[in-house]
Structure formats: C-alpha cells, structure tokens
Amino acid sequence: MISSKLFGVAMIIYIIAALIYVSYLVFRNVKVGNVATLVTFIGLIIHTAALISRTVASFQKGIGQPPFTNLYSSMVFFSWTIILVYLILEFKFKQKTIGAFVTPIAFACLGFATLLSDEIEPLVPALQSNWLLSHVVTCFFGYAAFAVACGISIMYLIRVYFEERSTENTGILKIFPPSDLLDELTYKAIVIGFPFLTIGIITGAAWANYAWGTYWSWDPKETWSLITWFVYAAFLHARFAAGWKGKKTAILSIVGFCFVLFTYLGVSFLLSGLHSYA
C-alpha cells in the first residue's frame, strides 16, 4: 500500500529530525534548530498525506472508516498527534530542545506499527459510528499531550539530578532549559491534555450509551481511562497544594503517562473487554 510506504518515509524523517534536534542541543545553533523544526514539519506533512491516502483506500474498499480502528492505524495516528502537539507547543513556547525527546517517541510508535499488519479490516457494527471518530481523536490528542509532558518531565528530572551534583553551568545544565521552565512546560502540556482526555472519556460514554445502552459499564478500557484521568486530576491539584512542585509533580506526570500507555496498549493485550479490538 502507498500509505504504508509513506509512513515508512515519515518514520525515517522523524529519526533524522531527532538527530538534528540532538545536535541542536549540543551546539545551540539557531540555524540547526530551525532545520530540525523544518524537517519535523516535512515529516508531519508526509505523515498527514499517508493518513489521508489510507482513509481514501479504506473508502475505495467500501469499508469507509477513519484511519484508526485497529492497533496499526491507531499507532500511526498516535504518532501523528504527538508530532502535531509538539510542534504547536514549540511554536508557542519557542523551546526546541524538547524536540530531541519527543521526536524519538513518534519514531518509536511508527517503528512499532511497521511490525503489525497494515491490512484495512472491516468494522463490526458496534464500531460504525461518528462517536467513534470524536472519541478516538480526542483521546489521542490527550494521550499525545501527556506523552509530550512525560518527555519534558524526564528532561526535568535529568536536569535536577545534575543540578544537585554540580554548581557549574556546564554539560547538561548548559544544554537543557532551566528547571523552572521545564516544570512550567510540563504543566502546560498537561493543561492541553486534560480537557482532551475529559472530552474523550465523555464522548466514549456517549458512544457506549448509544451502542450498548449504558453510558458506563466499568469495562477495563473505560476504567483505565478514568484511572488515568484521576492521576492527572491529582497532578493538577498537587500543584496547588504546598510542597508539590518540581520533582514530585514531574514523577506524577511520568506515572500518569505509564497509565496512558497501559490504557492504550496494556488493556488490549492483557485484559478483556469490549475494547479488545484495538
């Protein structure tokens, strides 16, 4: 399929972008940074074209589904949202160093997808719904924002680790943005993700109500998305409570992303339920 080839091209572009971002980290040259952004953007365009071509192919086969209803297609879509959310954040906060930590995640998702079958499969009746579209899209934007937050939190912890051991402004400390800014950016990314996850859970409930007659049935996937939601709600409130800044919230953000990953992948592989299609 053409789309699979395009996804492969996007994957290669992302790994190149990651390398350029790393050299930007090291050399701090504005031009290198701009090239990294440009390359990532080109990757995103090709990735978008691939998603469109997959959707078109699906309609031609008479199945006509949005391109994220099995693990392969949801993976390539997830990777796409990560890059999109990252570029939006980069544009808003002008912090290119984070790209070195985010583009590899997008690359890894696409890489993982290439191990799966790219077959376009027909949908069971319960999945033929517009709610599915809004549900999946919003959830994935939330997941992507949390992925970016997790990347920034890891940077934060690395930076703090070195700060505690050295007072000189060298090495990592020279390369990474100041820890306060990283802390703030983690928060910003979660502020983007949280409304999306909320809408995702609610549209999922609306879909369940139309498809199965109950808006909430404590199906494992539903429950895990709620668990994730609890963790990020705890994160948001922790920032207001005394003493919960910096390290503790960074760890909470990383734990939150582990929950996201389990909601997305673990549940489908390890637990059974209505969502076991993806």
Partner 1 sequence: MIKRIIHFFSSLKLTIFTLILLAFTSIIGTVIQQRQNPLLYIQRFGEPLYQIFKFLGFFDVYHSWWFMGLLLILALNLLFCSIRRFPRDWKILVTQKIKLSETELQAFTSKEKITIENSTVDQTLKNVLNAMKKGGFPCKEKVKDEKGWYLFSEKGKYGRLAFYITHLSIILIFLGAIIGAAKGFKGFVNITEGEKIDSIITTSQDGKSISKKLGFEVECKKFEITYYTDEEGNPTYRPKDYKSLLSIYEQGKEEYTKEIEVNHPLVYKGIYFYQSSYGDIPTLAITVQTSEGDLVDHFKVGEKESFHFLDKNDQKIAVQVLRYLPDFIMDQNRQYATRSNIPNNPAALLQIRRSNNQTERTWVFQRIPNFPHSKSTDYKFTLTSINAKKKYTGLQVAWDPGVPVVWAGCIILILGIIIIFSVPHHRLWVTITNGGKYQTINIIGSTNKNKPSFQTIFLKFITAFKSSLADTKK
Using CB under 8 A as the binding rule, whether residue 209 contacts partner 1 is answered as: yes
Q: How far apart are CA 214 and CA 34, in angstroms?
A: 50
**Residue 32 touches which of partner 1, ligand HEM, none (Cβ within 5-8 Å per kind):** none
Of 129, 162, 246, 247, the one binding partner 1 (CB under 8 A) is 129
**Residue 277 touches which of ligand HEM, partner 1, none (Cβ within 5-8 Å per kind):** none
Of 42, 233, 265, 274, the one binding ligand HEM (CB under 6 A) is 233
User: For the window 219-258, what string marks contact with partner 1 as x by the rule CB under 8 A?
Assistant: -x--xx-xxx-xx-xx--xx-xx--x--------------
Closest residue by Cα to residue 261 from 155, 146, 156: 146
Q: How far apart are CA 110 and CA 196, in angstroms?
A: 22
**Residue 129 touches which of partner 1, ligand HEM, none (Cβ within 5-8 Å per kind):** partner 1
- Closest CB to partner 1 among residues 27, 210: 210
Using CB under 8 A as the binding rule, whether residue 178 contacts partner 1 is answered as: no
How many residues of this chain bind ligand HEM (CB under 6 A)? 4
Structure tokens at 213: 């007659």
Helices 130-163 and 179-212 cross at an angle (nearest 10°) of 160
Burial class (CB in 10 A: 0-12, 13-18, 19+), 202: middle
CB of 178 to partner 1, least distance (A): 11
List binders of partner 1 among 56-85 (CB under 8 A): none
DSSP 134-187: HHHHHHHHHHHHHHHHHHHHHHHHHHHHHHTT--S--THHHHSPPHHHHHHHHH
**Binding segment (CB under 6 A) for ligand HEM, from list 70-78, 129-137, 177-185, 233-241:** 233-241
CB of 240 to ligand HEM, least distance (A): 5
Using CB under 8 A as the binding rule, whether residue 122 contacts partner 1 is answered as: yes
CB of 223 to partner 1, least distance (A): 5
CB of 266 to ligand HEM, least distance (A): 23
Q: Which residues contact 101 (CB under 8 A, 6 or more apart)?
A: 151, 152, 154, 155
**Residues making contact with partner 1 (CB under 8 A):** 122, 124-126, 128-129, 131, 180, 184, 191, 194-195, 198-199, 202, 205-206, 209-216, 218, 220, 223-224, 226-228, 230-231, 233-234, 237-238, 240-241, 244, 259, 267, 271-272
**Residues making contact with ligand HEM (CB under 6 A):** 233, 236-237, 240
